[in-house]
Chains A and B, each alone.
Chain A
């Protein structure tokens, strides 16, 4: 059995308490998002960002037909998927983004140079660059670094633009043998942490149980999500289409487009070089 760890987020158990968001912010010392009232149900966080690594989505669905009012309220705690083939990791030009011993995709903040290429390369829109660093505010997570490096990096960050940030799958807590903060805080075990293979097994049994009870449920990311991304180490049990939770139905790994891109560029180069050779042939 592989040592890969991950999250199984069972959205049927989520009660939308946002304890995961708060626990994540507290443990990782991430700054607040400010207080923006969106009017989108109870979701005032809106999205994952460089400083928000768990985000609880609130999906309110109401329709009326002859049978009366149908309504339901879906809640789901979104997180970095820690893809088998991660777009951000492949795109990172500095090697700051690595796969660690727990098979998680981890950004080394002292190596990240803030280029932003991983942001464009994540098919799930998870990672973002923390642009403003508030010197008065809360310290940035530097989980794997010792205290001296941490101070260096804080000094470096101030006034010099930011680095990319996303869920570390609590690399530091895992190293100490602790459960990630969000999973620890979740009061309903909607967020389950553990060995990915065991979690997948548990998730499949959960779908069977729900199906027996007449609940339509599907797993998202327990198996290959397609497009070259592969299975996700953080996967979900959903009761609606992925789009309802702002998840892509068909994500694509960006690097799969490179051969076509380089080939098209090569064709253009050869064609134009031949034209140039013909024009410049005679002195």
Chain B
């Protein structure tokens, strides 16, 4: 269909329309969409942590409680953040009119709603166990909700990536596998970092070494996915990996947010004096969290940049 010849002398030239963008970027200009995706990832990671921790070890028991409390707070905050993006509370409720399997945004909101339910029930269980609520209220939170929260969390973390990659955006769609995978890995590393931070600050530092080892695995995965993505994204990946945006990604996410905390966590395997070790853990955790946030910011902003070049939209990634 497209074998029409060009005007003489222009056979090799792909015309553009005055270099005007072909595609449009969404108006996701504020902190709220980035924060929504960032917290969605952390909620997923916390879902796994509250599943993995043992109930019969005092230190892990406290971590489980912290993970559940935090995950519920984040699950309650995220609809509010989404509402701040939409403008009015009723607009969030419009999301709950229907369930649409073809729309990652629709499925994600439902995932968030059910996650809030499971996380809330698990918090009730914690409070009933500790005596803050009557013991019979444990009836509202059967044990099955522990793996259920983990599963819903996995979905919540993954969908934040699919939400971006299943669009017409040239950069986002070029990472149809990388962005969902890196969203999961980043969500877990950030959740480990947040849990470590809260545990150290709460004086529960016996459990942090397990968290740090899991964080190292998640960060290494994140690094590997980003490296592989850079190799394969080609011109579609330019807004993310090159220029000022690429420099920010390299500095804040890869160097400060992945490599530096991994090094600090490796140092943590050595026997260190307790105050030094606590300081090290806090620094590593904060760096990982900042790196995770900048990763989400880079993903969103690079997508908005990528629509500026119409040539990347003529032949769209399959």
Considering only residues 142-200 of chain B, those with a C-beta below 8 Å from chain A are: 150, 154, 157-159, 161-163, 165-169, 172-173, 176-185, 188
Q: Report the interface size for chain A: residues with CB under 8 A from the other chain.
A: 86
Cα-based distance from A278 to B179 in the complex (angstroms) = 26
Q: Interface size class for chain B? A: 35 or more
Query: Which chain A residues border B48 with CB–CB below 8 Å?
Result: 272-273, 276
Q: Which residue of B lies closest to A255 (CB)?
A: B102
What 1/0 flags go to B226-259 for Cβ under 8 Å of A?
0000000000000000000000000000000000
Asked whether B97 lies within 8 Å of A111 as measured between CB atoms, the reply is yes
Are A272 and B217 touching (Cβ within 8 A)? yes
Tell whether, in the assembled complex, residue A249 and residue B314 are in contact, meaning their CB atoms are under 8 Å apart: yes
Are the CB atoms of A94 and B94 closer together than 8 Å?
yes
Evaluate whether A95 and B4 lie within 8 angstroms (CB atoms) in the complex, with A125-B313, A160-B88 already known: no
B108: nearest chain-A partner, CB-CB: A93
15 chain-A/chain-B pairs, Cβ below 8 angstroms: A70-B8, A90-B102, A94-B98, A120-B25, A241-B15, A248-B316, A256-B318, A257-B318, A258-B104, A260-B176, A263-B177, A264-B181, A269-B154, A269-B157, A276-B48
Q: Contacting A122 at CB < 8 Å: which of B91, B154, B161, B168?
A: B168
Docked Cα-Cα span, A4 to B288, in Å, equals 54
A215 CB, nearest partner CB in chain B, Å: 11
Stretch at the interface among B50-58, B123-131, B268-276: B50-58
Pairwise interchain contact B168-A249, C-beta atoms closer than 8 A: no
Asked if residues B97 and A120 are in contact (CB atoms below 8 Å), the reply is no
Q: How far is the CA of A239 from the CA of B210 in the complex (A)?
A: 65
Query: Is A275 on the interface with B (CB-CB < 8 A)?
Result: yes
Question: Contact at B57–A283, with CB atoms within 8 Å?
Answer: yes
> Is B7 among interface residues, defined by CB-CB distance under 8 A?
yes
A187 at the interface (CB under 8 A from B): no
Chain A residues whose CB sits within 8 angstroms of the CB of B263 once the complex forms: none
Question: A243-B16, A252-B317 are known contacts. Are A93 and B24 too (CB-CB below 8 A)?
Answer: no
Cβ of A244 within 8 Å of any chain B Cβ, yes or no, is yes
Greatest chain B CB density within 10 A among A96, A241, A280 is at A280
Closest beta carbon of chain A to B59's beta carbon, Å: 9
Do A272 and B221 touch (CB < 8 A)? yes
> Which residues of chain B are within 8 angstroms of A122 by Cβ–Cβ distance?
23-24, 168
Given A93-B109, A125-B21, A280-B210 in contact, is the A249-B315 Cβ separation under 8 Å? Answer: yes
Residue B85 at the chain A interface, CB threshold 8 Å:
yes
Stretch at the interface among A9-17, A25-33, A59-67, A135-143: A59-67
Closest B residue to A66 by beta carbon equals: B8
Q: Chain A contact residues: over half helix, strand or loop, or mixed?
A: mixed
Asked if B162 contacts A279 (CB within 8 A), the reply is no
B14 interface residue per 8 A CB criterion: yes
Shortest CB distance B166–A (Å): 5
The reply to whether the CB of A277 lies closer than 8 angstroms to some CB of chain B is: yes
Report whether A227 and B316 are in contact in the complex, using a CB–CB cutoff of 8 Å.
Answer: yes
Chain A 145-162 per-residue mask, 1 if CB under 8 angstroms from chain B, else 0 = 000000000001000110
* Distance of A281 from chain B, by nearest CB (Å): 9
**Chain B hits for A46, CB < 8 A:** 20
Q: Is B135 an interface residue (CB 8 A)?
A: no
Q: Does B92 count as interface, using CB distance less than 8 angstroms?
A: yes
A268→B8 contact, CB < 8 A: no
* Interface membership of A192, Cβ < 8 A: no
Which of A57, A119, A128, A267 has the most C-beta atoms of chain B within 10 angstroms of its own C-beta? A119
> In the complex, which residues of chain B have a beta carbon less than 8 angstroms from the beta carbon of A252?
168, 173, 316-318
A91 at interface (Cβ–Cβ under 8 A)?
yes
| Complex CA distance for A117 and B94, rounded to whole angstroms | 14
Q: A123 CB to closest chain B CB, in angstroms?
A: 4
Q: A70 and B87: CB pair below 8 A?
A: no
Q: How far is the CB of B102 from chain A (nearest CB, A)?
A: 4
Query: Which B residues between 13 and 70 are near A, CB-CB below 8 angstroms?
Result: 14-18, 20-28, 48-49, 52-54, 56-57, 60
